[in-house]
């Protein structure tokens, strides 16, 4: 397994590019996030076309793919944050040139529908990327958390222990690169050239708004596709119940845990739940493609190698 390419860190005063690969977004929430980045000393760069709307998309596929490509090609841009998730990222993948992205490694931050871009950058380009907050959400972050986010993106030493006190559903230890994101989007790419690699990796999956039988269907797809056969371990992030769910969050979590254990029964890999990532305020930043160790006895996840060059 070849080592992933780590991007350069984000330094004081560096330019942050902003892209909208998926759905349109609230302009005020967006501008609030932009102001926070600028108040932190960063220059921001985004195109006027970022405010485009085409049905449920932030403009045409070519507009969105071109925007993302231009930001990566721009030598002044040191990090690319995403405005919003929603839907549409996977439509861009055939329009992206792996050589361009591989030749211009830089910090890429996003989650939810951006799982598709993470998979492309990881599988086709070999880059480490970052599952983290969207620009339209930054205004809801507590100031210390926002400062910590930017500081972390400048840290070239190994990040060490990033999660503790996790619930061990199946014990064991594992080490390997992290892969994952939104369970729905992750599964939507199965069987395509853009599917994330799972062999030898620790999978970290989260989602929102899916009923238990829908979660079961998605995990069954992972199982039947062979994606779980050689996975080293499974981390369950936050799974948010769908609107109208009347049986409580605890019951919903029990359903998800049971489904995950059933799906991984044949592989027997360790499974931990409660990793603090997903569709909720306070979700932590973590690097996809970076090597991590999972300890089922202690309930911890530790990043064992640097995820930023330096």
The predicted model scores a pTM of 0.97
Tell me: the pLDDT tens digits for 115-163? Answer: 999 999 999 999 999 999 999 999 999 999 999 999 999 999 999 999 9
- Using the structure block, give the residue that is written with the tokens 């030493």: 157
Nearby residues of 59 by Cβ (< 8 Å), 6 or more positions away: 20, 49, 50, 52, 53
Instruction: Examine the pLDDT at 250 and tell me if it is beyond 60.
Output: yes
- Which domains can be identified in the chain, with CATH numbers? 15-152 (3.40.50.10740), 160-303 (3.50.30.60)
To the nearest whole number, what is the mean pLDDT of the chain? 97
Given strand 300-303, what is the order of strands in its sheet?
A: 160-163, 300-303, 291-295, 173-182, 202-208, 233-240, 271-273, 167-170
- Cα–Cα distance measured from residue 122 to residue 116, given in angstroms and rounded to the nearest whole number: 10
Ordered DSSP codes for 94-160: GG--HHHHHTS--EEEE-GGGHHHHHHHHHTT-B-EEE---GGGGGGS-HHHHHHHHHHTT--S--E
Mean pLDDT, to the nearest integer, of 292-299? 97
Q: List the catalytic residues.
A: 112, 206, 279
Of the candidates 15, 38, 16, 18, the one whose C-alpha atom is nearest the C-alpha of residue 27 is 18
Strands 129-131 and 286-288: antiparallel
Q: How far apart are the first and last CA of the chain?
A: 22
Predicted local distance difference test score (pLDDT) of residue 310: 83
- Using the structure block, give the residue that is written with the tokens 């591989």: 102
Tell me: the pLDDT tens digits for 89-114? Answer: 999 999 999 999 999 999 999 999 99
**Is 296 buried (19+), middle (13-18) or exposed (0-12) by CB count in 10 A?**
buried
Predicted local distance difference test score (pLDDT) of residue 38: 98
């Amino acid at each position: 397994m070849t080592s992933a390419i780590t991007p350069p860190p984000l330094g004081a005063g560096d330019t942050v590019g902003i892209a909208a690969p998926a759905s349109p977004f609230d302009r005020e929430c967006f501008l609030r996030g932009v102001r926070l980045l600028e108040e932190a000393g960063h220059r921001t760069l985004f195109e006027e076309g970022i405010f485009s709307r085409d049905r449920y998309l932030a403009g045409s596929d070519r507009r969105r793919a071109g925007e993302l490509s231009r930001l990566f090609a721009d030598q002044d841009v040191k990090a690319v944050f995403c405005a919003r998730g929603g839907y549409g990222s996977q439509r861009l993948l055939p329009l992206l040139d792996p050589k361009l992205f591989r030749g211009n490694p830089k910090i890429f931050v996003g989650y939810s529908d951006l799982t598709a871009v993470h998979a492309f950058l990881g599988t086709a380009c070999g880059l480490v990327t970052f599952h983290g907050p969207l620009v339209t959400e930054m205004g809801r972050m507590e100031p210390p958390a926002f400062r910590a986010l930017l500081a972390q993106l400048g840290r070239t030493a190994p990040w060490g222990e990033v999660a503790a006190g996790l619930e061990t559903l199946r014990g064991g230890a594992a080490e390997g690169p992290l892969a994952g994101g939104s369970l729905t989007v992750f599964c939507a790419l199965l069987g395509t050239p853009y599917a994330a690699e799972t062999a030898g990796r620790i999978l970290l999956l989260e989602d929102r708004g899916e009923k238990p039988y829908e979660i079961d269907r998605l995990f069954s797809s992972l199982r039947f596709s062979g994606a779980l056969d050689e996975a080293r371990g499974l981390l369950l992030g936050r799974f948010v119940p769908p609107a109208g769910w009347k049986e409580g969050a605890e019951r919903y979590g029990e359903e998800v845990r049971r489904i995950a254990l059933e799906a991984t029964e044949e592989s027997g890999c360790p499974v931990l739940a409660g990793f603090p990532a997903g569709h909720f305020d306070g979700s932590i930043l973590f690097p996809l493609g970076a090597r991590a160790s999972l300890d089922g006895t202690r309930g911890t996840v530790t990043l064992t190698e640097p995820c930023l060059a330096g």
